[in-house]
A and B are shown apart, each in its own frame.
Chain A
Amino acid sequence: MKTNLSDLWKKEDWLAVWIGFAVIAIGCIAVLTGAFDFAAAKFSTWHLWENVAEKKSLLAQLDGAFWVKLLRTFLVLGVLFTLGVKLQGGKIKEYIPAFLVLFVLSVLVRLISAEFTLNRYLEWAFWALIVGLLISNTVGVPKWLRPAIRTEFYIKTGLVIMGFSVLFSNIAKFGLYGLGIAWIVTPVVILFMWWFGTKVLKIGNKPLVITLAAATSVCGTSAAIATGAAAGAKKNDLGIAISISIIFTILMMVFEPMIIKATGMSQLMGGALIGGTVDSTGAVVLAGNALGAEAEQAAVLVKSIQNILIGFIAFFVALFFATRVEKSEGKKVGAGEIWTRFPKFIIGFFVASLVASFLIQPLAGSDSVKAINGVLDQYKNWCFVLAFTSIGLDTNFREIAKQMQGGKVLWLYIVGQVFNIALTFFAVWLLLSGVLFDIPVLDLYK
């Protein structure tokens, strides 16, 4: 394989980078100048039959402003992805109607996942898979819809946009305590799961093993998406890893604080343990909150550091797979070959993160970065919903059963998560119990 200059505007990876940068640039201009509104559509939490006083009913939120945002979202993503497909040599006459239908399905997914109870426990990624699977396994996916099923393209673009929200300054938020809990433990758990999955359980699907390991040890869905893309995981791999992580997160969110309370662990230690082990950030906040204000703060601080890890883990995974997993037996992979194989969207992810951390944040302030991320986050979510709906449309139930490898994947997660909890507890005890170091004091005044 040779690298050409034209790759910059013809290859999917680079096009995902440019599209991601375009969305980030427009988002920055819109927020920093206040000249125009660039917000993407989002359903507020709704309910059908319950009286949840503070929530809007479904119909009440479908006002003029919502439709304007929805149209804007469709046009921004539609135009950019169509251009990207055209540059890759695709037929836009086939892509545009297919994208329109995929977008409508994605709207349905986001609508379902905004329902009060469903929204509280299951992510839209789960509903996107379900909707796609239901269609593909019942009526089937029509041939004309296939041109829009470009899972990797949407995922890579979403990841580049997500890069802007990864702020390096978070690394020092909990000092060396946080770094010790979040960063010392995480790679050890990944290596343990890699060893256990590939050497003990002998799972041949290495991208699935590393995707599940990242989901378990880092932060669930977002880490799985980034790592899966970096390792070249199959679509089903990502769906399986995320589904397992989502279901177990529900259990851990409820049972982990109960167990911590029963053991009499301090709030600081309990919160840090939750931050290091519960996957989704929303679940971390709630589980920490169940223990108390100090636990909640400690949990969020540790999780904030884990969120920074996503890009680095994805980078090392991409490097590992480019140099070791994809190489021919006995052949050494040269620097040129590594560059050719390396997924370039990771570079886009890092550039976006560096720009946000060392350019926009110092110049415009933290509040501006938060406001920009408020806008960009919805575009990222739309990209991921398009991707996960595509995964569902491209998957059948038999394939999923085969991918589970007789339950080995489930046991890999369970054993890995138990190891993660044990090791994180050890780190938390060592750093925060006062046996070796001073117990840190958190300022809880809001």
Chain B
Amino acid sequence: MAPERRRRIYRAVTILTVVAVLGCAVYIMARRMGLAPGYDFGAGAYYYADIPGFESVVRDDAYQTEVPLWVHIVLFLGWGWLMYRLWVWIDSRKS
């Protein structure tokens, strides 16, 4: 396929996607889809502390684990460090 034609198709698909996504979002908002009765918040509450009465939504002890906290922290930090090294490696590779 000629590069110019490919560019045009890409442009058309991108514009169509943007229009479809925005259209869907406006439709959802206009129909007030996805909201729950009794909850005084929506997707606009982006962080947990922004949710009114968040403590009534989640139970702190909903799940009990016998694995100590320190094991979680060690695994958490270990995986984080491993992924950081992988990131450095990916970045150093030529594209």
Contacts and interface: CB of A to CB of B under 8 A. Distances in A.
Interface of A: 45, 54, 113, 117-125, 162, 165, 168-169, 171-179, 183-184, 187-188, 190-191, 194-195, 198-200, 202, 219-222, 246-251, 253-254, 279-283, 285-287, 289-290, 296-297, 300-301, 303-304, 307, 312, 316, 319-320, 324, 366, 370, 373-374, 376-377, 380-381, 406-407, 410-411, 414, 440-446
A324 B58 contact: no
**Chain A contact residues: helix, strand, loop or mixed:** helix
A177 B56 CA distance: 23
A184 B14 contact: no
Interface in B4-47: 10-11, 14, 17-18, 21-22, 24-25, 28-29, 32-36, 39-47
Given A219-B47, A281-B47, A316-B87, 13 more contacts: A120-B42, A122-B43, A162-B47, A172-B65, A222-B47, A247-B22, A251-B24, A280-B44, A283-B43, A286-B36, A297-B59, A324-B91, A366-B60
Nearest to A222: B47
B80 A286 contact: no
Contacts of B45: 123, 280-282
Contacts of B62: 173, 297, 301, 442-444
Contacts of A172: 65, 67, 69, 72
Given A188-B83, A191-B87, A366-B60, A171 B42 contact: no
A114 to B, nearest CB: 9
A303 B21 contact: no
B28 to A, nearest CB: 5
Contacts of A303: 48
B30 to A, nearest CB: 8
B47 A307 contact: yes
Interface in B49-92: 49-51, 55-65, 67, 69, 72-73, 75-76, 79-80, 83-84, 86-88, 90-91
Contacts of B51: 281-282, 285
A247 B22 CA distance: 7
Given A45-B40, A191-B87, A176 B67 contact: yes
26 contacts: A119-B42, A122-B29, A165-B48, A165-B49, A173-B62, A174-B63, A175-B63, A184-B79, A188-B83, A190-B87, A195-B90, A220-B46, A222-B47, A253-B34, A280-B46, A282-B43, A282-B50, A286-B36, A287-B34, A297-B59, A301-B63, A307-B47, A374-B49, A376-B49, A443-B64, A444-B59
B46 A179 contact: no
A300 B29 contact: no
Contact of A121 (B44, B80, B93): B44
B79 A183 contact: yes
Contacts of A316: 80, 83-84, 87
Contacts of A168: 69, 73
10 A-B pairs closest in CB distance: A282-B45, A120-B42, A175-B65, A407-B14, A187-B83, A283-B43, A199-B95, A377-B49, A254-B34, A280-B46
B64 to A, nearest CB: 8
Contacts of B44: 113, 118-124, 280, 282
Nearest to A173: B63
A343 to B, nearest CB: 17
Contact of B95 (A198, A253, A280): A198
Given A120-B44, A121-B43, A407-B14, A281 B90 contact: no
Given A248-B21, A290-B34, A319-B84, A176 B46 contact: no
A176 B67 CA distance: 8
Contacts of B28: 121, 250-251, 254
B72 A282 contact: no
A90 to B, nearest CB: 30
A410 B90 CA distance: 22
A443 B63 contact: yes
B46 A282 contact: yes
Contacts of A199: 90, 93, 95
A384 B75 CA distance: 32
A373 B40 CA distance: 19
B42 to A, nearest CB: 3
Contact of A289 (B39, B43, B48): B39
B25 A247 contact: yes
Q: Which of A246, A279, A407 lies at the interface centre, i.e. has the most chain B CB atoms within 10 A of its CB? A: A407
B18 to A, nearest CB: 7
A296 B34 contact: no
B34 A410 contact: no
A205 to B, nearest CB: 15
Contact of A281 (B18, B40, B46, B83): B46
A202 B10 CA distance: 16
Q: Which of B32, B48, B79 lies at the interface centre, i.e. has the most chain A CB atoms within 10 A of its CB? A: B48
